[in-house]
Amino acid sequence: MREKSNTIKQEKHTNSIIYDDNSSARACSILTQHGAIDTPVFMPVGTLGTVKGLSQEQLSHPVGAQIMLGNTYHLYLRPGKEILKHAGGIHQFISWSKPILTDSGGYQVYSLADRRKIDEHGVQFKSHIDGSTHVFTPENAVCIQRKIGADIMMAFDECTPYPVSHKEAQLSMDRTHRWLDRGLKKFKESTPCYGYPQIFAPIVQGSVYSDLRKSSAEFISQKNAPINAIGGLSVGEPIDLMYQMTQEVCDILPKNKPRYLMGVGTPLNILECISLGIDMFDCVMPTRNGRNGMLFTIDGVINIKNQKWKSDFSQIDTNAYSTVGSQYTKAYLRHLFSVNELLGKQIASIHNLSFYIWLTNQARKKIIDGSFVAWKNRISKNLDKRL
């Protein structure tokens, strides 16, 4: 373990970065008005201002989340930016005092392929709620996120599907870069609504093409943003390509700025990408899969709906990261799922998020004490195993 504070420029949004000697893994703290975020970090997804099925109190404890995500597209439609502004911003509206990150709506627009039209100006789309027509541009995506009041806001980008041709990926990437310049200009011209600074983060695109990813990473690096994100992965491409693109981008992005890999992934994906130099992660998998009976543990993956757990009165998980795992038995949790009791989904979600956050917290400790690679190699063997 070595601390490179003597060679890394001190940034107002981050403290010095600690590197692992045997990989590209790093640890730092991102400084926001609502608290510091210690990395590596997993950020639970709170699409509509809530992590589905959990209270903010549960998200704070026992889960231990440092930060949560909000979804600009969904919050724009409901409750609406004016309601959020009247409430005093997203933190006041949802009673969450810790940092919040909002995406720009780009990924949701991508997912509305049959409901949207993209041109140079922006994206026109129809609401999935009532079919009403709306327009997102790089500029109003900034204005909306100003009114939401997130600590970290994302640039409006275009996310390509997989597979996509090289030509289409390049056209999309170039448009994302032009949109970034427009969004950055609007960000610099506008001011926060609630008296605290916000961070604006650009997004690297380029699908699975090395030349495009490198070009995009170089373009984004020139913007000198406090945080840089990597988008357009975890959209169906093979895992080895995701790792390859991540590594190639991390080799180019500034080493003294946190890196956020959007929408990734499984526990094993997260550990591998930490070793490549990623600092921030988000994914719906721990809560979405949890609501469907899938539990992530250090020993492997449990499908609690399986018959084999019906008479298993052992604890869900005896490891220290899960208070609910040591409180309830597998047989009881399976019973809750078999009768469609909401408590079962809540327990599984709390357990999974606790595990993800424990995993990134442990990664930070191992990076700092110099044992990250050995630890990662040891626990990775079982993470994807079906129990």
For 18, the token pair is: 């600690």
Q: How confident is the model over 259-304, as pLDDT tens digits?
A: 999 999 999 999 999 999 999 999 999 999 999 999 999 999 999 9
Q: Say which residue the tokens 């721990």 belong to.
A: 286
Question: Which pLDDT does position 191 carry in this prediction?
Answer: 97
C-alpha to C-alpha distances, 110 to 235, 330, 357, nearest whole angstrom: 11, 39, 28
Question: Which pLDDT does position 254 carry in this prediction?
Answer: 97
Q: How confident is the model over 332-353, as pLDDT tens digits?
A: 999 999 999 999 999 999 999 9
Question: Which pLDDT does position 233 carry in this prediction?
Answer: 95
CB 1, CB 18: distance < 8 Å: yes
Is the pLDDT assigned to residue 13 strictly greater than 90?
no
CB 204, CB 253: distance < 8 Å: yes
d(CA 229, CA 172): 16
Is the pLDDT assigned to residue 110 strictly greater than 70?
no
C-alpha to C-alpha distances, 63 to 59, 263, 292, 293, nearest whole angstrom: 5, 19, 19, 18
Q: For the chain, what is the HEC assignment?
A: CEECCCCCCCECCECCCEECCCCCCEECEEEECCEEEECCEEECECCCCCCCCCCHHHHHCCCCCCCEEECHHHHHHCCCHHHHHHHCCHHHHHCCCCCEEECCCHHHHHHCCCCEEECCCCEEEECCCCCCEEEECHHHHHHHHHHHCCCEEECCCCCCCCCCCHHHHHHHHHHHHHHHHHHHHHHHHCCCCCCCCCEEECEECCCCCHHHHHHHHHHHHCCCCCCEEECCCCCCCCHHHHHHHHHHHHCCCCCCCCEEECCCCCHHHHHHHHHHCCCEEECCHHHHHHHCCEEEECCEEEECCCHHHCCCCCECCCCCCCHHHHHCEHHHHHHHHHCCCHHHHHHHHHHHHHHHHHHHHHHHHHHHHCCHHHHHHHHHHHHCCEC
Q: What is the mean predicted confidence (pLDDT) over 200-218?
A: 98
Question: Which pLDDT does position 109 carry in this prediction?
Answer: 67
Is the pLDDT assigned to residue 383 strictly greater than 90?
yes
CB 48, CB 74: distance < 8 Å: yes
CB 208, CB 165: distance < 8 Å: no
Question: Which pLDDT does position 93 carry in this prediction?
Answer: 98
By annotation, the residues acting in catalysis are 103, 282
For 77, the token pair is: 């439609």
Please tell me the total number of residues recorded for the chain in this structure.
387
For 228, the token pair is: 């840089």
- Mean residue pLDDT across the chain: 93
Task: Give bridge partners of residue 315 from the DSSP assignment.
Answer: 329
Half-sphere exposure for 354 (CA within 13 Å, toward CB): 23
Q: Say which residue the tokens 């909000």 belong to.
A: 70
CB 300, CB 308: distance < 8 Å: no
Question: Which pLDDT does position 377 carry in this prediction?
Answer: 97
Is the pLDDT assigned to residue 4 strictly greater than 50?
no
Cβ neighbours, 10 Å, residue 232: 32
Q: Which value, to the nearest 10 degrees, does the dihedral of the CA atoms of residues 230, 232, 234, 240 take? A: -80
Is the pLDDT assigned to residue 3 strictly greater than 70?
no
Question: Which pLDDT does position 379 carry in this prediction?
Answer: 96
Q: How confident is the model over 356-371, as pLDDT tens digits?
A: 999 999 999 999 999 9
d(CA 169, CA 211): 11
d(CA 217, CA 147): 29
Q: What is the mean predicted confidence (pLDDT) over 372-384?
A: 96
Angle at which helix 166-189 crosses helix 210-221, to 10 degrees, equals 10
C-alpha to C-alpha distances, 101 to 17, 283, 323, nearest whole angstrom: 21, 13, 27
Q: What is the mean predicted confidence (pLDDT) over 102-117?
A: 78
Q: What is the mean predicted confidence (pLDDT) over 128-136?
A: 92
Q: How confident is the model over 26-36, as pLDDT tens digits?
A: 999 999 999 99
d(CA 86, CA 104): 21
Q: How confident is the model over 47-100, as pLDDT tens digits?
A: 999 999 999 999 999 999 999 999 999 999 999 999 999 999 999 999 999 999
Q: What is the mean predicted confidence (pLDDT) over 310-318?
A: 93
Angle at which helix 166-189 crosses helix 138-148, to 10 degrees, equals 50
Q: How confident is the model over 155-204, as pLDDT tens digits?
A: 999 989 899 999 999 999 999 999 999 999 999 999 999 999 999 999 99
Task: Label residue 1 by pLDDT band (50, 70, 90).
Answer: very low
